[in-house]
């Protein structure tokens, strides 16, 4: 390979590397209606075990819709199938689905519906107040929201991503089994990817 070819090769490689590693999305998403991409969205949780460690898990089946409008009405609805709980331990997951905890036969769906969506001065989504329905109980919950990114995807669509976090007490939702052994505070993170309609 002569010097001219070598120079061209490495210049092209450097350009490709720069393009592939440079950010291609902005934090502020375009206003409009979005559908949550269930294949790229998950709900994670963690809870104290015996006061000495944290047990982590997730719900694998999530659906919902978002309406983003910093100048007007914004909404979020998230629906989570409780039967999709997954802690990477089959016996424990069966117990979590039982009446001791989630009671998935009687309460197959967990749902969050927003009541107030807040933006900062840069039109970035920062928090969402709403009602969480779980285990037959509905309580007020506030999600702290961090925009991850937004932009065009490789298939001609437009996507927006957010991390939303909150902490709830399971006793507030009448899940009191094994208090002390299993913590009352449940930390929750929603990793949301949504597609603009």
Question: Per the domain annotation, does 157 fall within a domain?
Answer: yes
Average pLDDT (80-95) is 97
- Give the CATH number for residue 180: 2.40.128.110
pLDDT in tens, 161-191: 999 999 999 999 999 999 989 999 999 999 9
Question: Per the domain annotation, does 21 fall within a domain?
Answer: no
How many distinct structural domains can be found in the chain?
1
Question: Per the domain annotation, does 3 fall within a domain?
Answer: no
Asked if residue 15 has pLDDT above 60, the reply is no
Instruction: Provide the percentage of residues in the chain whose pLDDT is more than 70.
Output: 87
**pLDDT band at residue 196 using 50, 70 and 90 as cut-offs:** very high
Average pLDDT (85-102) is 97
3-state SS track over the chain:
CCHHHHHHHHHHHHHHHHHHHCCCCECCCCCEEEEECHHHCEEEEEEEECCCEEEEEEECCEEEEEEECCCCCCEEEEEEEHHHEECCCHHHHHHHCCCCCCCCCCCCEEEEEEEEEEECCCCCEEEEEEEEEECCEEEEEEEEEEEEEEEECCCCCEEEEEEEEEEEEHHHHCCCCCECCEEEEEEEEEEEEEEEC
At residue 180, the pLDDT reads: 87
Average pLDDT (60-68) is 97
Gap between the Cα atoms of 108 and 116, Å rounded: 26
Question: Per the domain annotation, does 139 fall within a domain?
Answer: yes
Question: Per the domain annotation, does 73 fall within a domain?
Answer: yes
> Does 7 or 151 have the greater pLDDT score?
151
Q: Which residues contact 6 (CB under 8 A, 6 or more apart)?
A: none
pLDDT in tens, 104-129: 999 999 999 999 999 999 999 999 99
Asked if residue 8 has pLDDT above 70, the reply is no
Q: Which residues contact 96 (CB under 8 A, 6 or more apart)?
A: 57, 85, 87, 102
At residue 2, the pLDDT reads: 52
Taking the model in full, what pTM does it have? 0.85
Residue 159 structural domain? 26-196
Question: Per the domain annotation, does 105 fall within a domain?
Answer: yes
Asked if residue 57 has pLDDT above 70, the reply is yes
Question: Per the domain annotation, does 182 fall within a domain?
Answer: yes
Question: Per the domain annotation, does 17 fall within a domain?
Answer: no
């Amino acid at each position: 390979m002569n010097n001219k070819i070598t120079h061209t090769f490495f210049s092209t490689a450097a350009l490709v590397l720069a393009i592939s590693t440079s950010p291609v999305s902005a934090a502020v998403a375009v206003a409009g209606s979005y559908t949550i991409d269930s294949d790229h969205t998950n709900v994670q949780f963690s809870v104290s075990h015996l006061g000495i460690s944290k047990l982590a898990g997730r719900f694998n089946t999530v659906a919902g819709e978002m309406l983003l409008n910093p100048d007007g009405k914004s909404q979020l609805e998230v629906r989570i199938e409780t039967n999709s709980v997954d802690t990477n331990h089959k016996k424990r997951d069966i117990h979590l689905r039982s009446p001791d905890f989630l009671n998935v036969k009687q309460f197959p769906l967990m749902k969050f519906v927003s009541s107030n969506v807040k933006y900062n001065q840069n039109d970035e989504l920062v928090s969402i107040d709403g009602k969480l329905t779980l285990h037959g109980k509905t309580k007020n919950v506030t999600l702290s929201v961090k925009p991850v990114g937004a932009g065009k995807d490789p298939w001609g669509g437009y996507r927006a991503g957010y991390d939303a976090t909150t902490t709830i007490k399971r006793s507030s939702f009448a899940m009191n089994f094994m208090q002390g052994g299993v913590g009352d505070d449940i930390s929750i993170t929603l990793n949301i990817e949504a597609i603009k309609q």
